[in-house]
A and B are shown apart, each in its own frame.
Chain A
Amino acid sequence: MSLALNIDWSRPDFQLAVDCEFPASGITALFGRSGSGKTTLLRCVAGLEHAPHACVRFNGDVWQDDQQFVPAHQRPLGYVFQESSLFAHLDARGNLEYGLKRVPAARRRIGFDQAVQFMGLESLLAHRANELSGGQRQRVAIARALLTSPQLLLLDEPLTNLDLASRAEILPHLERLHDELSIPIVYVSHEISEVMRIADHVALIDAGRMQALGPIDQLLTRPDLPLAHLEAAGSIFEGVIDEHDAHYHLSYVAIAAGRLAISLRAAARGQRVRVRIDARDVSLALEPPQHSSITNILPGRVIDVTDDRDPAQRLVRIDVGGRPLLARITGRSVAQLAIVPGMPLYAQVKSVALMD
């Protein structure tokens, strides 16, 4: 199961040269600046763009090579465009049924009611596109794509043109999509917070070239990649809600390296969650801190120490329970504590954000 691409396409105004294989499960975020070629790459996958001499294969099926080019309407994929893309001559129901009707009944794996319920569209079905808000339209567009029972879902910055409230309205639906449907998703974004929240894998693209492709926790913390040097750089951890402490209003999240306290959440015990720890919220100590106000302390081992953009700062990557944690501390502290790779130490985490 995979999506394999080999594209080398030069045009006077832009270039796209990638040779890569996307994992065909979970959400892969295609991350890069505007104009880096993300959308063009996605359009090549969808068959909306015919790059010369390109090769696109999905799960062993050839979608494009020198001999053939499977047109977009024959590729079993769903596509959600950046801007609203509902047909203006149909109401929401008509839009949803447009793709559904064109898929043979035997190949349907997602039913109308299921998709409607999934994206929360029950009350919107009779509305036309111009009567819906931006967020509602994108929800209809996502459900419409789902109703073609795609084997691959391509989302081209589906939240970019939406306001914060609409984004917050859609993100939980995308997370459900990820948790409950086993459709691989390629998600184009230039918003790192979105990527940190929903992606399992990241493909970093810059000036039409693939810089790196791999699991998100690795790529976020790799000092040779730009993500670790962003102002919002940090690490993410998967965990489960372990315990609630009503007295101190805390919930505990168990991760491989230990337990993290977060503000009390109305989440069931055992629920899987993702937490994010900003690099600037991590400080380091050589001994287990005894008299500290900081609750979350994770033991770990230094992987490497790298210069950051700010010459006063260093990025320290620490292995905590087999996963990388990024700390941004001053060069002075690195020198004073004599931090070197391989050294055991304690990461004090000032703040943990639950990604929801």
Chain B
Amino acid sequence: MSASFYSADDLAGLWISLKLAIITAVALLLLCTPLAWWLAMTRSRLRVIGEAMAALPLVLPPTVLGFYLLLFLGPHGWGGRLMQQLGMAPLAFSFGGLVLGSMLYSMPFVIQPLQSAFQGVGARALEVAATLRAAPLDRFFTVAVPLARRGFITGAVLAFAHTLGEFGVVLMLGGNIPGRTQTASIVIYNHVEAFDYAAAQRLSATLLIACFVLLLIVYAANRRVPEAAAVA
């Protein structure tokens, strides 16, 4: 049934979107956790610069971001040249490039919930842990992370959903190559371009329902996590 319901391009696009969203969300959580921790804890004046840079992808049109990434990663950009010299495959027009672009584009959606969750944990809970013999890394994993779990959940969901819906960056950077960089959102765009509204409808509805169900599960799960002060 699926063979007639979805075209091969549809399925490939869905799979690429799913893969991209998962990899982006996981990579962003790993990358943003230390960054958000630093932003939440530092008293350095560099913080405002960090915050502004972390929020930049929120206001930039995705095409601008994709365009600069393309220049940077392309064969004449110094990122692309560096990778060539290191003997690596160029990132432009590749899945790796999509991951990089999506990460940059969705970064604020992970950093900001994490940063405010860490700020909510506050210094007191960590001081308490210190007087209970917990070393800094121990305090981070046994106090800060569990108390900030709402931030992690929110960040992961937003990164996933935002990447799933991403269009501009992946089009600029990925180049619309079926089976490699053509995500579901681009496939939908192609269907509409070809006036195949029925196909666009099927894929759009699939994404709509999948995203809604995902958010529903997460918010229902999150509801059980009491939003309490870090120490009470």
Contacts and interface: CB of A to CB of B under 8 A. Distances in A.
B130 A71 contact: yes
B129 interface: yes
Interface of A is mostly: mixed
B127 A72 contact: yes
A77 B229 CA distance: 25
A73 B133 contact: yes
Interface in A44-95: 46-48, 71-74, 77-79, 81, 83-89
A102 B231 contact: no
Contacts of B132: 73, 98-99, 102, 144-145, 148
A88 B144 CA distance: 11
A268 B132 CA distance: 38
Interface string B121-143: 00011011111111110110011
B124 A85 contact: yes
What size tier do the contact residues of chain B reach?
A: 20 to 34
B61 interface: no
B226 interface: yes
B230 interface: yes
A103 interface: yes
Contact of B228 (A73, A88, A99, A144): A88
A148 B133 contact: yes
A86 B232 contact: yes
Contact of B127 (A48, A86, A98, A129): A48
B133 A46 contact: no
B231 A86 contact: yes
Nearest to A79: B131
Contacts of A86: 231-232
B232 A46 contact: no
B147 interface: yes
Contact of A145 (B131, B147, B226, B230): B131
Contacts of A47: 130
A139 interface: no
Given A85-B124, A87-B147, A89-B146, A73 B135 contact: yes
A244 interface: no
Given A72-B127, A85-B128, A130 B133 contact: no
A130 B131 contact: no
Interface in B115-171: 124-125, 127-136, 138-139, 142-143, 146-147, 149
Nearest to B128: A85
A73 B124 contact: no
A179 to B, nearest CB: 24
Nearest to B228: A88
B145 to A, nearest CB: 10
Contact of B124 (A46, A72, A81, A128): A81
Contacts of A102: 132-134, 138
A229 interface: no
A102 B133 CA distance: 6
What size tier do the contact residues of chain A reach?
A: 20 to 34
Contacts of A128: 232
A30 B214 CA distance: 56
Interface string A134-157: 000100000011001000000000
Interface in B176-232: 226, 228-232
A73 B228 CA distance: 26
Contacts of B226: 88, 130
Contacts of A83: 124, 231
A48 B232 contact: no
B131 A72 contact: yes
B230 A87 contact: yes
A188 B4 CA distance: 77
Contact of A48 (B131, B136, B230): B131
B143 to A, nearest CB: 6
Contacts of A145: 131-132
A77 B146 CA distance: 25
A272 B154 CA distance: 59
A135 B137 CA distance: 31
Candidate in A73, A83, A129, A145 with the most chain B CB atoms within 10 angstroms: A73
Nearest to B229: A88
Contacts of A71: 130
B115 to A, nearest CB: 19
A99 B129 CA distance: 8
A84 B226 CA distance: 18
Nearest to A49: B127
Contacts of B129: 73, 87, 98
Contacts of A144: 132
Given A87-B143, A102-B133, A148-B133, A81 B232 contact: no
A99 B133 CA distance: 6
Contacts of B125: 85, 87
Contacts of B231: 83-88, 129
Candidate in A74, A84, A88 with the most chain B CB atoms within 10 angstroms: A88
Given A81-B128, A85-B231, A130-B228, 10 more contacts: A48-B130, A73-B133, A73-B135, A73-B136, A85-B125, A89-B143, A89-B149, A102-B134, A103-B133, A137-B232
- For the complex of A and B, the 5 pairs showing the least CB-CB separation, nearest first, are A99-B132, A129-B232, A79-B131, A102-B133, A72-B130
12 contacts: A48-B131, A73-B132, A73-B138, A74-B133, A79-B131, A84-B231, A85-B125, A87-B143, A87-B147, A88-B228, A88-B231, A103-B133
